Structure 1
């Protein structure tokens, strides 16, 4: 234990709390941008630990438990951002809000995050102490903390990569307009509509490196199914039977035609695949769900009167129940303000509490088995919204103007709670290994989650005003897609009388079922290659140009492993060779995302999207953008192939 051989080791110090809050806020803003842009978020605990070790060293040195507190609080940056951007922008897309209302966003994100902390507390003893699960990222974080004597190389890699990502973003279409955002080629080959392109974002390249080649292949395959098979087939054989769309596309370029067919028809294949994926996720985790719930109930029944060691003390159950009541009351008032009927708002609150506890248990169990990075929070949220919508359909009727909004509100709170709950158990696993005090970590995560919630609405409003959210418009052609939120809006709206292409959704559900069957076949053969249905659905649902750099980043990760002669089944060796590269990838993502937020400020202030532009036409600069992306890819590859001092690893994967 970290406190053996002397007095108590400092943990929850003022400087550790302050640094954790600062990092949590910065990383949550970066993840909010990345999530709206590409539908993915990255875990932030280990990059925060590397920064913490460097900063506290400058301040005279920090203890391992102080650094653990910092990474615990900073992990809320990815959790709260994921919970918010997966759901709350749906209220803008549905037209219920014109902008993000500060106190409402704070209530949903802050209280949802705090409920996630409370619901996960009783799970710690069972899942970490008595029946320990692997918690791979928690173990990795503990190793980083224990090997933290030399954080310098990691900080230099992060700083260099963040600078590269920021400079490229500044030069791109949203800033100086020296290079475009995408390099696209399209045309007609007889009646075949051909379209291919790539986004020129270093952040997406970094995401691909972090998630690896397997996921890169899956998401690109989904995009190819959508853009190179479904869209050409629809254009060739079904467009003539759609007079409205056929008239709209008369004389349109191949690129415009592909985009219109995708946005009005084909992307709903992804909706169907995600729906069946969310339902399958719950079904396949039914045993895990029962295990998590039983663990929570068993832990809650244990007496707290007996003396326990400092390294085994959780937040007191009595105070947890009081806090739960205090947090639920404002949510009940919020739901009442939406529906104006206590006979509806009370069931809404009950659904939120029950679903919140159930799905925090599932999220924690999954985090223990496969890590927070592979935790299907979006699938959990879809299932919550479907269940909530079904109940509200009975209470409010199909034509209710607020039914879809009410379902989204329930899903938003549950999504924030589930995201925080999974990360909380990872952090507690790291703390258990290094000898931290659980209640101090739980308190720090609550502080971090609420701190992130405080800045979510201003960040979202800034991004919405500068870029737009949802489908692109002539005024905002670089609109942030917000894919999960768009999906949640579609699901909720479809349940309450909205007009959706249900034929496409049904076909997409069939595609999702086929993907699930194929993945189960691979699982039965003990294949190292898997096809997670939610990853494939994201590929189907998003533009192909976003998937190409993710795939290329995965190829880079594979080339690094080949260069070092690594066996893919040797997780320890793979982690070692990827340490510098994954830090470089995290830096690219953070630098680009923060620059995207910084660029939004002059755009909003001047009310001009081209306020920073130094170039008018970007078409001839596509090749320049491709060269820039190639240079960034080479730097990323070299970061993991040149000899390096020991560097801390970064946890992989989108949420």
Structure 2
């Protein structure tokens, strides 16, 4: 370790600039992925690889400079998640016709900065005193330590990004050479059967990164929805729902299944998310108190003591000042919505309390299962429901029925605004602890990482509104329309709009189905606790299962297949189930880089395709003539070929190699 007289460069100008550039690019890519599939992926590892290559071209970079770059760039996933899970709900509700730049900047930027502040007191508890695994943080540290030869990693990233981008260009929103999905449905007697898979390479990459365990859980949730709940509802309950039955007249089996899922069955996932969020808070109660106490104790001890660079967090005094500075603009924003100080002040208080509480939950979950699996949407639902209940009391009868711009319930808009800030804070907070874990393992200075993440988060917030407007105009967001038949589903934002709107007199939520979903969630929790007591490596996280229940089946199938490929890579080396975490990270590094490239390439191509669509006003501006349109078989063959490439990339991994 370097002496104080010869510190290793960390927060250099070139590292900051490179981090900001990567953060902006990766946040745009994750915004598309999240609106499309309801998932975002952690970006620290590909950012670390790119950083090592770029800084080497600029004359070499230290491991701590590369760590700073991956820290700032990782904000691209966290800010994108916080924004796309919530803010599109304001458009879906009709409160906005497009995304207001200043408002999106305030929500995302200030929410992200609050996430950094709230996570600082948790570092000592979760990383130093009672360390959690933080799998992606450990993986990023391994990549940084192996940075002597970044060339092969850059080649893998570049090749897979090109493949992901070309497949996206060939799909329905581009050249229309291949379809976006391969599906089939039909009636087998009275049973409504539905099968299908999305043909997206990005989802295959997501599955490889999250692994087989999560892949099985999310697919099982979708099977419960599409192969059990939808057929049962169609056979037993559709006749007692004449309004829904009337909308299904003349539709084919696939359309019927989709309509039943959209109107009813996906709310099983809502119920499971609610019970899962409550259980998570209960199970983490001791860890949260411990984190708060240890953070305060460390701040008091550090006030009169000389701390090592590797133990220096942002000063507590400046954190408290920044907290006040950041909250005041949000208070004014809330006042602009409701126009009543006795409501806007409690809204700000709810935001602060819920923000710190859920940043703690998010950080703990990121430490257990990684940022890519962190169920921030479940946390946000709990926030919106809690905020809605408080707002219903504060607003009174007149306020509960008041409507804002576009006829949107005013209370629902206010609840979503609170949820959006908390969601951004929770996403950034969980990601911050992941980065601090990597920094802890390579000897970085915590306060420099915390400052860099704040810079990265605010940089991403600057471009969120233009990216969202571009995607909305090109593809549409939310429910399909004649102008946008293949709209980006924005599943979490649609859910937030439904929950908040239902609480304030909008479309009535199917509370019976939500209650059944909560019961399913309780059963899943019980199963997971039994597995935990037995020491099983296979676990059933309730929030992962709830996501599977809530999202369409065809999105979960490639995620499962990607996880299966990761498992097969381990079996190929004869080490499935027996690897320690560091060895597992080394084994999967080539495959993980390939998967990350697929995701990044497809997402960036989706944004590039949006530009000519918006400019021309035609959704099919890039489409080739019909004779060049191929069917589902070709699309499946392309997905199979990419699966082989992922497997071969991972199978060539050398466990003993340093890079």
How high is the TM-score relative to the length of structure 1? 0.95
C-alpha contact (below 8 Å) 1:579/1:648 kept by paired residues? no
C-alpha contact (below 8 Å) 2:185/2:253 kept by paired residues? yes
Gaps of 5+ in 2: 403-408
Task: Say if 2:628 is the partner of 1:626.
Answer: no
C-alpha contact (below 8 Å) 1:579/1:647 kept by paired residues? no
Specify the alignment match of 1:84 in structure 2: 83
Range that drifts further, 481-490 or 127-136: 127-136
- Cα distance per residue 1:451-477 (max 9 Å; x no partner): 000011111111111111112223212
- Cα distance change on mapping 1:330 and 1:215 into 2, 3 Å: same
Kindly report which structure 2 residues correspond to 1:87-486, keeping only aligned pairs within 5 A, or say none: 87-397=86-396, 398-400=400-402, 401-486=409-494
Specify the alignment match of 2:405 in structure 1: none
Cα offset, 1:403, TM superposition? 1.0
Range that drifts further, 239-248 or 273-282: 239-248
C-alpha contact (below 8 Å) 2:167/2:201 kept by paired residues? yes
Cα offset, 1:64, TM superposition? 1.2
CA distance in 1, matches of 2:108, 2:21: 18
C-alpha contact (below 8 Å) 1:163/1:591 kept by paired residues? yes
2:535 corresponds to which of 526, 545, 548? 526
2:618 corresponds to which of 608, 627, 640? 608
SS at match of 2:626: coil
- Cα distance change on mapping 1:127 and 1:550 into 2, 3 Å: closer
CA distance in 2, matches of 1:480, 1:647: 41
- Cα distance per residue 1:495-546 (max 9 Å; x no partner): 2223122222122222222222222222222222211111111111111111
Cα offset, 1:82, TM superposition? 1.1
Specify the alignment match of 1:638 in structure 2: 648
Cα offset, 1:643, TM superposition? 5.4
SS at match of 1:198: strand
C-alpha contact (below 8 Å) 1:293/1:358 kept by paired residues? no
SS at match of 1:9: coil
C-alpha contact (below 8 Å) 1:180/1:618 kept by paired residues? no
CA distance in 1, matches of 2:197, 2:433: 37
CA distance in 2, matches of 1:279, 1:615: 52
Cα offset, 1:412, TM superposition? 1.0
Specify the alignment match of 2:575 in structure 1: 566
How high is the TM-score relative to the length of structure 2? 0.94
CA distance in 2, matches of 1:233, 1:413: 39
- Cα distance change on mapping 1:87 and 1:642 into 2, 3 Å: same
SS at match of 1:185: strand
Cα offset, 1:188, TM superposition? 1.7
Gaps of 5+ in 1: 650-655
- Cα distance per residue 1:37-61 (max 9 Å; x no partner): 1111111111101100000001111
Cα offset, 1:65, TM superposition? 1.3
- Cα distance per residue 1:228-282 (max 9 Å; x no partner): 2211222222222222222222222111111111111211222222222222221
Specify the alignment match of 1:56 in structure 2: 55
CA distance in 2, matches of 1:529, 1:316: 41
SS at match of 2:631: helix
Specify the alignment match of 1:508 in structure 2: 517
Specify the alignment match of 1:517 in structure 2: 526
Range that drifts further, 425-434 or 387-396: 425-434
Task: Say if 2:576 is the partner of 1:591.
Answer: no
RMSD of aligned C-alpha atoms? 2.0
Cα offset, 1:486, TM superposition? 1.6
- Cα distance change on mapping 1:547 and 1:374 into 2, 3 Å: closer
SS at match of 2:185: strand
Cα offset, 1:130, TM superposition? 4.5
- Cα distance change on mapping 1:249 and 1:454 into 2, 3 Å: same
- Cα distance change on mapping 1:368 and 1:251 into 2, 3 Å: closer
Cα offset, 1:645, TM superposition? 9.4
CA distance in 2, matches of 1:267, 1:606: 35
SS at match of 1:610: coil
Cα offset, 1:109, TM superposition? 0.5
Specify the alignment match of 1:652 in structure 2: none
SS at match of 1:183: strand
C-alpha contact (below 8 Å) 2:206/2:595 kept by paired residues? yes
CA distance in 1, matches of 2:482, 2:370: 41
- Cα distance per residue 1:324-369 (max 9 Å; x no partner): 1111110000000010000000011111111212222333333344
Specify the alignment match of 2:406 in structure 1: none
Paired positions, count: 648
C-alpha contact (below 8 Å) 2:186/2:254 kept by paired residues? yes
